[in-house]
């Protein structure tokens, strides 16, 4: 998924930093190995591989992997997304123009309209779309054969996919947050591609504040590069990294404005919870989905937020991180 709000320039750079081969894709050892087997086997059989589902928080490499799949198969790639498919006709138009072996990347697949979902089931399984002509009782379905293609679906919320859709993927890869050492490798590679000097300490500092996410690592790298060019000597070292990340309010654990406002609201306004997701989201002026998919996975993993059946709660680490004292009677 492209970062929301990113400028055109930033998107171009983001594209330029994407690895094109599985071998250049850092980390995600398990998914990489499984995927390479799926691709190698298909290549050996001269067949199109099974449909592939990639799930995980934003910025971990789902779009990049879909491009790698097409590249490794030497196949053309078509890119679309769930929100762009609001009617079955939108999907029919895409499917009916696919060429043999093409890779169709469907980002945010969980946000596709329901009628289109049903059309997709048939297309995935039987390589066919039923084009409905006419309306009401006189409507007829004209079956249209499709060439074999590979669907790569991406979702930040695998749990929201209906079972029948999930079952039609032959392979599901779940991407997890990256370890700091892996992010350092991503950063070294990106620094080389951008032609900037990144010291080991600078790389470690940026990696540690990147929320386990390559997209954030690359974005912070560009901000540190700006700082080093304008206020420093052009080298991305420890001092430049610290100074730049302070300007952009990224704290030492990598929490950004959204993360902190969620935690601040949870502690200051709701006494540490439990508070429902929607209420929490409204209080920070965000959509519940943004809070749930962008901020929460990392905060939960860091032990800074708890999810209970009664709502979101602060942990002892939350209070400590914000430098606040829990209210009397607060228990964990």
- Are 133 and 140 contacting, i.e. CB atoms less than 8 angstroms apart? yes
186 contributes a contact to ligand ADP by CB under 6 A? yes
Instruction: Write the DSSP string, 214-250.
Output: HHHHHHHHHHHHHHHHHTS-S-B-HHHHHHHHHHTT-
Tell me which residues in 9-48 interact with ligand ADP (CB under 6 A). Answer: 14, 17-19, 25-28
- The catalytically annotated residue of 32, 111, 211, 215 is 215
63 contributes a contact to ligand ADP by CB under 6 A? yes
Give the binding-site size for ligand ADP (rule: CB under 6 A). Answer: 21
- The catalytically annotated residue of 156, 213, 293, 318 is 156
Say whether 104 sits in a helix, a strand or coil: strand
- The catalytically annotated residue of 32, 48, 62, 293 is 62
Question: Minimum Å distance from CB 129 to ligand ADP?
Answer: 26
- 11 catalytic residue (yes or no): no
Which one of residues 209, 215, 312, 321 is an interface residue with ligand ADP (CB under 6 A)?
215
Beta strands in the chain (DSSP E): 52-55, 77-81, 103-107, 128-133, 140-145, 150-155, 171-174, 306-308, 311-313
297 contributes a contact to ligand ADP by CB under 6 A? no
Say whether 201 sits in a helix, a strand or coil: helix
The strand pairing partners of 224, in sequence order, are none
Which one of residues 49, 59, 212, 254 is an interface residue with ligand ADP (CB under 6 A)?
59
232 contributes a contact to ligand ADP by CB under 6 A? no
**Of 167, 162, 14, 171, nearest to 82 (Cα)?**
162
Q: For residue 195, report the phi and psi dihedrals to the nearest 5 degrees.
A: 70, 35
The strand pairing partners of 53, in sequence order, are 153, 172
Residue whose CB is nearest to ligand ADP in the complex, by number:
61
Task: Sort 134 into a burial class: Cβ within 10 Å, 0-12 / 13-18 / 19+.
Answer: exposed
Question: Minimum Å distance from CB 65 to ligand ADP?
Answer: 7
- 43 catalytic residue (yes or no): no
Stretch that binds ligand ADP, among 56-64, 94-102, 113-121, 280-288 (CB under 6 A): 56-64
- 107 catalytic residue (yes or no): yes
Running DSSP on this structure, what letter comes out for residue 295? I
**Residue 312 in marked binding region:** yes
**Residue 78 in marked binding region:** no
Which one of residues 31, 52, 60, 106 is an interface residue with ligand ADP (CB under 6 A)?
60
Q: What residues are labeled active site?
A: 62-63, 107, 156, 215
Binding residues for Mg(2+): 63
The site for ligand ADP (CB under 6 A) is made up of: 1, 14, 17-19, 25-28, 58-64, 154, 186, 214-215, 218
């Amino acid at each position: 998924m492209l970062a929301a709000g990113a400028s055109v320039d930033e998107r171009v750079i983001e594209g330029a930093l994407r690895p094109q081969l599985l071998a250049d894709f850092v980390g995600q050892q398990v998914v990489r190995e499984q995927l390479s087997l799926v691709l190698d086997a298909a290549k050996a059989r001269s067949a199109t591989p099974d449909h592939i589902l990639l799930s995980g928080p934003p910025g971990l490499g789902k779009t990049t992997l879909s491009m790698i799949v097409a590249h490794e198969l030497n196949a053309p790639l078509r890119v679309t997304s769930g929100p762009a498919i609001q009617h079955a006709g939108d999907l029919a138009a895409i499917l009916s123009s696919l060429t043999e072996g093409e890779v169709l990347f469907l980002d945010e697949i969980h946000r596709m309209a329901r009628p289109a979902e049903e059309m997709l089931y048939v297309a995935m399984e039987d390589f066919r779309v039923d084009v409905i002509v006419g309306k009401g009782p006189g409507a007829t379905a004209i079956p249209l054969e499709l060439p074999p293609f590979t669907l790569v679906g991406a979702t930040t919320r695998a749990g929201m996919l209906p079972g029948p859709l999930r079952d039609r993927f032959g392979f599901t890869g779940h991407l997890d947050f990256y370890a700091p050492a892996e992010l350092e490798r991503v950063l070294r590679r990106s620094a080389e591609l951008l032609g900037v000097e990144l010291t080991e300490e600078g790389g470690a500092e940026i990696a540690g504040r990147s929320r386990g996410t390559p997209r954030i690592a690359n974005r912070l790298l560009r901000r540190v590069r700006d700082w080093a060019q304008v206020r420093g000597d052009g080298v991305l070292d420890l001092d430049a990294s610290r100074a730049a990340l302070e300007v952009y309010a990224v704290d030492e654990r990598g929490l950004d404005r959204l993360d902190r406002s969620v935690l601040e609201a949870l502690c200051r306004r709701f006494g540490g919870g439990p508070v429902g997701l929607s209420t929490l989201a409204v209080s920070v002026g965000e959509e519940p989905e943004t809070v749930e998919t962008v901020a929460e996975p990392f905060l939960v993993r860091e032990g800074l937020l708890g999810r209970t059946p009664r709502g979101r709660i602060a942990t002892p680490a939350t209070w400590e991180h914000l430098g606040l004292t829990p209210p009397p009677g607060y228990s964990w």
